Structure 1
Amino acid sequence: MTSDPDRLRARLRADLTTAMKARDKEAVAALRSVLASFDNAEAVPVPAPATGPPASSEYVAGTSVGLGSAEVARRELTLDDLRTVLRAQIDEGLAEADTYAAHGRPDDADRLRRQVDVLRTYLG
C-alpha cells in the first residue's frame, strides 16, 4: 500500500507529465521546483569530519573505502513535512512576485503568481 507522501509525489509527477505534454510552462516550472525541493529536504546533513587520518583509497585521496561506505539513507518525509516544503515554496514565490512587481516587472510577477496558483492546488 502506498503512503500519503508517496501518493502526493505520484500525483505531482503525473501532473508534471500532463503539463509537459500540454506545454504549460508555468505548471512545469512549479512542479519541477517543488519536486526538487522535496528531494533536497530528504538530504541528510553531512557529518563533521572525523578526527585522525581520513580513510582513502590508493586511487583517490580522501575517499571512503569498502562497499557502501559512502552511501547514506535519505530522510523519509511525512505528508506534513511535504506540505511544509510546499507552503515554503508558495511563500517564496509570492515574496518574489511582490519583489518583481515592486521593481516594475509585472509580467514576471504574474508568471510567478500563476506558478503559485498551481502549487496551491496540492495543499488540500
Structure 2
Amino acid sequence: MNTLKERLRADLTTAMKARDELRTSTLRLAISAVKEAEVAGKSAHELTDDEVEKVLTREVRKRREAADAYAGAGRAEQAARERSEGEVLADYLPKQLGDDELAAIVDKVLADGDFAGPKAIGPAMKAVQAIVAGRADGGKVAGLVKARLTA
C-alpha cells in the first residue's frame, strides 16, 4: 500500500528528473513540514495518512494567506507563486466540497442534531467537522454554521 508520504517522495523524484522547479521546491517544503511534525511533541512517531493530510492542509492554508498578503502589498509575482505552490499541494488532498454540497451537509446536520441558538455553535461545528473531515475550509464551515444558528 502506498502511503501519502511515499507518494510525496516519489513525486519529488519525478519532479527533480523533469527539472520542474516549482513542484520540486514545493514538495521539498511539504516533506520537510511532515518530518517536522513527526518529531514534534514528546516523542517522534510516524505520521498516518490522515495526519499527513492535516499537515498538507495547514501548508495550503499558509500559501493562501501568504498569497493574500503579497497581493495586498502589491507583489503580484510572489502572490502568484504562493498560489501555484498551494495548487501543487492541493493535489494531494481530498476533493473539496462545493458551496452547495457544504450547505446541504450543514443543514442536514443541524436538523438531525436538533441544534438551535448561538450556544449550539460549538457542538454543531464538531458534528459538521466529523462529516466534512478535511474536505472543506474550517472558516467556511464555521461561517455557515454560525449564520444558520444565529439567523
TM-score, normalization: structure 1? 0.69
Partner of 2:7: 11
2:36 to 20, 33, 40: 40
How far, CA to CA, are the matches of 1:92 and 1:44 in structure 2? 19
Q: Is residue 87 from structure 1 mapped to residue 57 from structure 2 by the alignment?
A: yes
**Aligned amino acid, residue 85 of structure 1:** V
1:102 to 56, 72, 76: 72
Is the 2:64–2:83 Cα contact (8 Å) retained in structure 1? yes
Spell out the pairing of 1:56-67 with structure 2 (5 A cutoff): none
How far, CA to CA, are the matches of 1:111 and 1:80 in structure 2? 27
**Aligned amino acid, residue 90 of structure 2:** R
How far, CA to CA, are the matches of 1:25 and 1:100 in structure 2? 21
Q: Which has the higher helix share?
A: 2
Cα displacement (A) at 1:115: 0.7
Structure 2: state its 5+ residue gaps.
95-151
Partner of 1:21: 17
- For each residue in 1:98-124, what CA deviation from the matched residue of structure 2 results, as whole angstroms up to 9, or x when unmatched? 111111110111011111111011013
How far, CA to CA, are the matches of 1:43 and 1:93 in structure 2? 23
How far, CA to CA, are the matches of 1:15 and 1:110 in structure 2? 22
> Taking structure 1 as reference, are residues 88 and 44 closer, same or farther at Cα in structure 2, changes over 3 Å only?
closer
Count of residue pairs brought into register by the alignment: 94
Partner of 2:83: 113
Compare CA radii of gyration and give the structure with the larger one. Answer: 1
1:78 to 48, 56, 59: 48
Structure 1: state its 5+ residue gaps.
47-72
- For each residue in 1:46-88, what CA deviation from the matched residue of structure 2 results, as whole angstroms up to 9, or x when unmatched? 6xxxxxxxxxxxxxxxxxxxxxxxxxx6222121111110000
> Taking structure 1 as reference, are residues 45 and 113 closer, same or farther at Cα in structure 2, changes over 3 Å only?
same
TM-score, normalization: structure 2? 0.58
